[in-house]
Amino acid sequence: MTAQLIDGLALSKSIRAEVATRAAALTAQGRQPGLAVIIVGDDPASHVYVRNKVKACADAGLHSVLEKYDADFSEAALLARIDALNHDPRIHGILVQMPLPKHIDPHKVIEAIATAKDVDGYSTLSAGELMTQLPGFRPCTPYGCMKLIESTGFDLRGKHAVVIGRSNTVGKPMALLLLQANATVTVCHSATPDIGFHTRQADVVVAAVGRRNVLTADMVKPGAVVIDVGINRNDEGKLCGDVDFDGVKEVAGWITPVPGGVGPMTIAMLLVNTLESAERA
Ligand code: NAP
């Protein structure tokens, strides 16, 4: 293996330890940071995600509430719960787990969360704050990817970064964060004819598609930093990313594994955002 592994698990642990220290200081002043997590319906994967988030809060000394509702919970009732949490002084972050049942408009729900408590950074106001470099909350996954890149000591200034994927929650905010770090950024997506043409010139590649082998060894410049956001299953049912890890690790300079790369960082950055919301409150 040529590439050095970027250990997201280890980095997330050190970030969570720092969150715990700062949370304890706030708690001692009677201002314990608090996160509310709402889940509607019975999607098993979503229930695992929210359990992990609530457990991470408990481990770092944050107050958390988990509100679980049946799949037929009405949109109006959900909006009323968000309104109540917006006004709850013990809650500094509100997260509504996606996907929501079809009868609920996710945009309405996200926009109902007070911007000051939008620790997922998904609302249009938070997106605008990111775009204009105002101090709002950065979406947790791209924010975590930036921390992973930073951890390598790699200076993004003047480097070429390619993001594969342009979702509102990962690809687009990722591109903006790289741009803010003074990288020259190219965004590829499903209509990009030859992704390898772009990635072969890239010093950094972030793959956020949700499809195996989107990035293979022949598409990577030697020494590049490769961040794999994707979550997929291989033929044996094992978790894997978008990157052909075994091939790309022989060419790249740095690479994140799946699992153990971006995933743990997403939760760590959720804690950071919640803590910072409490510090600002
Ligand atoms: P998404 O909303 O489905 O967006 C996927 C993006 O990939 C779209 O922009 C799409 O392009 C693009 N795409 C699809 N097929 C492509 C192809 N063949 N070549 C190039 N681009 C292609 O997904 P997402 O929410 O951004 O998530 C992406 C992946 O990251 C998923 O596997 C998800 O599970 C994972 N994820 C992981 C974490 C974590 O914490 N580890 C967090 C969030 C997401 P178009 O816009 O043209 O359709």
CATH of the domain at 203: 3.40.50.720
In this prediction, residue 9 carries a pLDDT of 98
What domain range is 74 assigned to?
A: 30-114
CB-based contacts of 182, cutoff 8 Å, min separation 6: 156, 157, 158
Which residue out of 117, 118, 120, 249 is catalytically annotated? 120
User: Do the domain assignments include residue 86?
Assistant: yes
**Whether residue 169 has its Cβ less than 6 Å from ligand 1:** yes
Both tokens assigned to 179: 């741009």
170 and 258, same domain (yes or no): yes
Asked if the model's pLDDT at residue 12 lies above 70, the reply is yes
What digits encode the pLDDT tens for the residues 227-266?
A: 999 999 999 999 999 999 999 999 999 999 999 999 999 9
User: Do the domain assignments include residue 22?
Assistant: no
148 and 89, same domain (yes or no): no
d(C-alpha 226, C-alpha 207), whole Å: 8
**Whether residue 165 has its Cβ less than 6 Å from ligand 1:** yes
The string of DSSP letters for 102-141 reads TTS-HHHHHHHS-GGG-TT--SHHHHHHHHTT-S-PPPHH
Average confidence (pLDDT) over 16-42: 98
Tell me whether residue 203 is one of the annotated catalytic residues: no
102 and 148, same domain (yes or no): no
164 and 254, same domain (yes or no): yes
Quickly state the pLDDT bin for 1 (edges 50, 70, 90): low
**Whether residue 103 has its Cβ less than 6 Å from ligand 1:** no
The string of DSSP letters for 181-228 reads TT-EEEEE-TT-S-HHHHHTT-SEEEE-SSSTTSB-GGGS-TT-EEEE
User: Do the domain assignments include residue 20?
Assistant: no
In this prediction, residue 4 carries a pLDDT of 98
Task: Please tell me the total count of domains within the chain.
Answer: 2
**Residue matched to tokens 């700062």:** 22
193 and 238, same domain (yes or no): yes
What digits encode the pLDDT tens for the residues 182-219?
A: 999 999 999 999 999 999 999 999 999 999 999 999 99
143 and 202, same domain (yes or no): yes
36 and 88 in contact (C-beta within 8 Å)?
yes
In this prediction, residue 123 carries a pLDDT of 97
190 and 106, same domain (yes or no): no
Q: What is the largest CA-CA distance in the chain?
A: 56
95 and 156, same domain (yes or no): no
What digits encode the pLDDT tens for the residues 117-143?
A: 999 999 999 999 999 999 999 999 999
User: How many Cβ atoms are within 10 Å of 153's Cβ, its own excluded?
Assistant: 7
User: Do the domain assignments include residue 91?
Assistant: yes
34 and 146, same domain (yes or no): no
149 and 107, same domain (yes or no): no
82 and 144, same domain (yes or no): no
Residue type, 147: K
Q: Which atom of ligand 1 is nearest to the CA of 171?
A: 26
**Whether residue 173 has its Cβ less than 6 Å from ligand 1:** no
94 and 44, same domain (yes or no): yes
User: Do the domain assignments include residue 222?
Assistant: yes
Residue nearest to atom 1 of ligand 1 (CA): 167
Average pLDDT, the chain: 97
In this prediction, residue 77 carries a pLDDT of 98
Share of the chain above pLDDT 70, in %: 100
User: Do the domain assignments include residue 213?
Assistant: yes
Share of the chain above pLDDT 90, in %: 99
